Structure 1
Amino acid sequence: MEAVYDPWSAEFVADPYPAYAQLRAAGRAHWHGPTRQWLVPHYEDVSALLRDRRLGRAYTHRFTHEEFGRAAPDAAYEPFHTLNDHGLLDLEAADHTRIRRLVSKAFTPRTVENLAPTVRRLAAGLVGDLVAAGGGDLLSAVAEPLPVAVIAEMLGIPAEDEERGRLRPWSAAICGMFELNPSEETARRAVEASIAFSAYLRELIARRRKSPGEDLISSLIAVEELTEQEMISTCVLLLNAGHEATVNTTVNGWWTLFRQGVRPDPEKLSTAVEELLRYDTPLQMFERWVLDDIELGGVTIPRGSEVALLFGSANRDPARFGPTADVLDLERADNPHVTFGAGIHYCLGAPLARLELTAVFGELLRQAPGLRLAAEPVWKPGYVIRGFEELLVEV
């Protein structure tokens, strides 16, 4: 199935869904030589394997690299791996449980609800500026600044710190390493961003130790159960994971609405947001390591393998979403998409992402009812985190 699944092809990135349909029809697990991964395209399997403890985001809690049949990471990339490997997303076992328990306190329903006025105010202001300008790039003017500003507020990054303007570029550089077979240049940028971001957070943590505030960094310091590296990695992960879904669902979602000539009902906006999250999934694929042999559709996938759980395919699987799986239904009631994952790595920030998306779509519908596409957008080359270079609009 290598000819069908081609994550480096611009045509595939622009519309991977026909290829997903072919993968689902051909079986439950497919070996893909170029990425050395087992592709899993069905909803039922993706959902089950996200919860299966025979798989993990990491393997070093159980095996050495040699025991697992993998080469150790290049020493030149150590700053990136130190940052990434101490983050919640890539931790397993006791460390994951401990840190998730501590960080989850920042994402309780009450905490997120308390953020709602700030999120709505920021969304209204950004959309208002876009309308006043007569349009512009929806990505850089609205979709990116909103979640970055919210996370910066949560972390307590002072508005006067010049590094606040570097958060998005740092995040983009680091997230480049999550693409398939990243280039040397991508790795170099990720390492540089990891060093700079870590240094800034280390300095900010020192400030907060001397002068605590009401922010998340101060709260993490007060817990005293996290190492400084775990605090730094947690903050970086909250920025990286905390804005990608919002950015790409905003932009990809409006692209879908423009193409199909429809608009959500403002009274049913939360339902519409769930459908946009399902219909064109911002995170197309989630990788996991096989820690113990598993069997899928008569195929044994051995320990040491990597599986690619195809979220975009799972969210369009007719076996779960019926004959309208490939149809955008902004009033779809039964919508258990896997966009935010499942199991122990279910996205902690999902409630915040939903709040941000509802706010930004609501403001755009209210302030820019005539919003229209100004130019055909170009997809970024990345496949795992899939989105546009820009989305030029007019009001």
Structure 2
Amino acid sequence: MTNVHLDECDPWQEELLRWPYGRYAKLRDAGPVAYNTKYGFWSMHRFAEVQSAMSDWETFCSSRGVGITDTAKEKAWRPPSLLLNADPPAHTEVRSIVGRIFSPQAVRRLRQRFEDEAADLVASLGDRTEVDAAVELAEAFPLRVFPDAVGVRPEGREHLLQYGRMAFNSEGPKNAIYQEAFRNAEAVHAWINESCRRENLAEEGFGADIWQAHDAGLITAEQALLLVRSVLTAGLDTTIATIGNALLALAQNPEQWRMLRDDPSLARNAFEETLRYDAPVQLFFRTTTRAVQVEGIEIPADAKVLVSIASANRDPRRWGPDADAFRIRRDAAGHVGFGVGIHRCLGQMIARLEGEVLLAALARAYESIEPAGEPHFRLNNVVRSYRNIPLHMTPAH
């Protein structure tokens, strides 16, 4: 492994999960590729290499799992996602079907309802000045609007959050964080599977739209179940995390809140910058289908490769010397927070809509927001988010 930086660290230790950005900088500076001696995987932390690997599905495949486990050698905990854990040609047809369902027109039809729900949620806070932004805003809003958009039955929706944590934590090692996420897993899994069935979904919504593709003979009943499951898995945790991370960053950078307060149309930019600055999905894995040269370093075939999304999004080589700064007027286009290429997140427009309308509603309602105590981090092998974010929020009068 000539010229390869040997990384002896455990990236899933609590201290690094809480604040990984210093380590990312060191790994970027060490070289284009590193080899983790503890777990035996390769990693990329610079923007150019991460973007290139995530774009090249023929060399860096997803069909062997986007976590540390090679699902060609070890059975996954659930049937693989038809979108996230697949490559062409199998991936192409189902992605095309779901892409038509999550069309820009379909998302635009949700805007007024989402705006009304955001205004109602903000109004429900009344004149309170102490708010837990993680629970009362970042979690509460997506849980109000997204399950309804899919058509999920009201009973048991609390299982959606644990199921998402199970899914994302399973992409890392089977550590204590993984074990905690899988407590009561059987009941959660059973609820999810039942909720994806046609008879348990509303007559209108993205879930029903997927089952209509089955009626048209485009997908099988098993595929319809798995596609609804994929939508439910990916549709909450990352949006919740991004909204929470955005509110924390805005509270910690009061000049950025003032910009948003003065011009609520910057809400979309603020959400986008959060995806870059404090990416909800920190990493994914790929598996090499052949030996490949990366800047003169050979990664062998059948190797697991960690692509560090969050590190790439802070790489000064791409974002300039202020890459570690939160700037809502920055042009953050091109970040890899929603993935790249054929595996780019299909639900990204809905997530952006949720973040935009809630941040805009808050900007119109509050003169200022500031930290009101230490935020409590939620340990997760992949997703970066908080259990609690205490904020002091001064209503506008």
TM (normalized to structure 2)?
A: 0.87
CA contact (8 A) 1:137 1:391 kept: yes
| 2:59 alignment partner in structure 1 | 54
Query: Is 1:231 the counterpart of 2:224 in the alignment?
Result: yes
- Partner Cα separation in structure 2 for residue 143 and residue 334 of structure 1: 21
| 2:208 alignment partner in structure 1 | 218
| 2:159 alignment partner in structure 1 | 166
CA contact (8 A) 2:139 2:240 kept: yes
- Partner Cα separation in structure 2 for residue 297 and residue 107 of structure 1: 38
| 1:21 alignment partner in structure 2 | 25
Question: What percentage of aligned pairs have identical amino acids?
Answer: 27
Counterpart AA for 1:39: S
| CA apart distance, 1:96 | 1.1
CA contact (8 A) 1:86 1:230 kept: no
Of residues 299, 302, 312 in structure 1, which corresponds to 2:300? 302
Cα distance change of structure 1 residues 135 and 105 upon mapping to structure 2, 3 Å threshold: farther
CA contact (8 A) 1:27 1:297 kept: no
- Partner Cα separation in structure 2 for residue 191 and residue 54 of structure 1: 36
Cα distance change of structure 1 residues 207 and 184 upon mapping to structure 2, 3 Å threshold: closer
TM (normalized to structure 1)?
A: 0.87
Cα distance change of structure 1 residues 200 and 294 upon mapping to structure 2, 3 Å threshold: same
| CA apart distance, 1:34 | 2.4
The correspondence of residues 177-326 of structure 1 with structure 2, limited to 5 A, is 177-182=170-175, 183-187=178-182, 189-202=184-197, 205-206=198-199, 213-224=203-214, 225-262=218-255, 263=257, 264=260, 265-326=263-324
Task: Please list the CA deviations of residues 93-143 of structure 1 after superposition, one character each: whole Å capped at 9, or x if unmatched.
Answer: 222111111111122111111110111112122222234554332122121
CA contact (8 A) 1:173 1:193 kept: no
Cα distance change of structure 1 residues 247 and 5 upon mapping to structure 2, 3 Å threshold: farther
Stretch deviating more after TM superposition (318-327 or 219-228): 219-228
Counterpart AA for 1:81: R
Stretch deviating more after TM superposition (11-20 or 337-346): 11-20
CA contact (8 A) 1:123 1:142 kept: no
2:84 alignment partner, SS class: helix
Of residues 60, 78, 81 in structure 2, which corresponds to 1:81? 78
| CA apart distance, 1:190 | 4.1
Of residues 85, 91, 97 in structure 1, which corresponds to 2:86? 91
1:174 alignment partner, SS class: helix
| Structure 2: unaligned runs, 5 residues or longer | none
Task: Report how many residues are paired.
Answer: 375
| 2:143 alignment partner in structure 1 | 148
| 2:377 alignment partner in structure 1 | 379
Counterpart AA for 1:172: R
Stretch deviating more after TM superposition (113-122 or 373-382): 373-382
- Partner Cα separation in structure 1 for residue 18 and residue 379 of structure 2: 9
Of residues 70, 74, 84 in structure 2, which corresponds to 1:72? 74
CA RMSD of aligned residues (A): 2.4
| CA apart distance, 1:392 | 1.8
